[in-house]
Structure 1
């Protein structure tokens, strides 16, 4: 039970009749809890809806992110550098749900922490690991897209699957080490009402402030600032390329598309390929930018609450706000697979291939159909231009 001096309580709860001279400390009355911003137990009727929302988002998020990982590894043609970073992000989101859902659900129905001291430290450490690794993965695929679009010739050697895997390993190793102190800064605290999992120091403690400020700046403020700057630059480059294409001007070096497939012959094929590649490139950039925007927006309420509660005397501890901020975080971790399907035709096709159990066959059929179509267009062009010699026909047929 929280205690306040009579002088403090008379200011916080002016409607109460208090004899200030009668006592120096009094127990905080239940009717005054919300007035002073102290967190209280959720209303009984709200517990089951809250539990249902947490559980539903967790199931959707875990299943969706596991499907993303499976699609990238199982469906042919999905192992790209960008998708490797999306796999890292999916791993982070899955880990977050595994580490937070049990404690969130149990806290709604019992005051005692049921998982023990070891799980208390572990379930504090793992969410920070997941959050920070996801922020770094998002920044990594933003930089990868920046290089691929704004410096395409560098991308030949930099934006590779092998290098992406190395960077992802570095992200997770760094996150493991950086967040390690959280294992020792939290623990199971026992009092007369039972045990509860909490930080071993208060928000006023300098160790907490150092850890929190480092976490806020290094894994939210700086990454989001970099993402905004980089996507602004990407938008400018894509806009310039689009204008040059409309005016049919020679493409600048930054507008040059890296060949992702074998180039086919013929003017019509070349133009169609460039248009398709440009459309796909813009689609991927929009999808990734939306992922960044959702991440920044969904984490903002919680980050703002912790900043306020760490550095101001007036706390934001109302049940409604805490529930809202946690739900926003759960939504962020669950929504990415949905965004991929809404924004990316390639991901939609990959998911369909996975569910129908014929990913490779379907992919081969599409490639064979596209190649035959290209052959027919090229043959038509050659016939119109009168180039029907055996050498040309042999070269076109060999390209098929």
Structure 2
């Protein structure tokens, strides 16, 4: 397995019906989130949905805290950031909730579509961004709770005053020998996979689930234009968390934008990875049968993108290189849109009819660090 620039792990959660029925009473901090989201005159059904979503979000937060993942950097509802860490604060859930409550007035819609909680975590060699999203509605066949994790290698952080060229010179020894390169990548991949496994087990301890889908992928960025400074890194709040532009993260992320060119220059063999464009959109998936990175302009940012002429490769649309792939007859032109899939499940209200208008009973939790911080 060859690592590209950054690692991605995804855990999609299908909560069991008992999770939806047996809600946990919010702590004082998470009750502020409930109060904020039910601000004004919501119907009882919408209030019920909100309480359920926040209760599940709280349980996931408790699961993360058991792994010492507690540095909240963003709390958002739909496209509105109620808390965004712009100073590099540590362990700031209480501050996030305080700011959420203070900024509740701008909410105008009757109900939310997605609640986001994003946390940052470091271990001895990888910096993680952990994005939790709880969807009010989801497409049939998809799961309503998603945990998206991006990991970057901390040793490759761009130091203060270090230019992109100086960072490339520091990375250069990694690419001169295939065996050395593969050995380093294998060790980082194992650390990341262990982290995702621990996260999955922690979630299962605190959230009753019917099913969990877990994937990990290695992603290589192929910028459309050569990146020579971190100021050129593109940001997109709707992309993977690594692309959001969180405080200080681009210092860790810059090496990922240099990696493709270095692979091309040193003609290393690559397989088992996902190539993405400048905003993290999937371009192509490379299987076990890979290709030599110096044989084609696939990773060469000094030339137009060129699909590799060999290897076990599948291609995707809706990315910066879609026109190239259409011209090469590798994908169909997606500009002719298919009928949109509008089927969805309003899962948060699945048990609403069983309430009978009475008080909902919740099981208070006081056995964890998060709850005891009231």
- Smaller-chain TM-score bracket: under 0.3
TM value normalised by structure 2: 0.25
User: Relative contact order: is structure 1 or structure 2 higher (C-alpha 8 Å, sep ≥ 6)?
Assistant: 2
Greater share of strand: 2
Greater share of helix: 1
TM value normalised by structure 1: 0.24
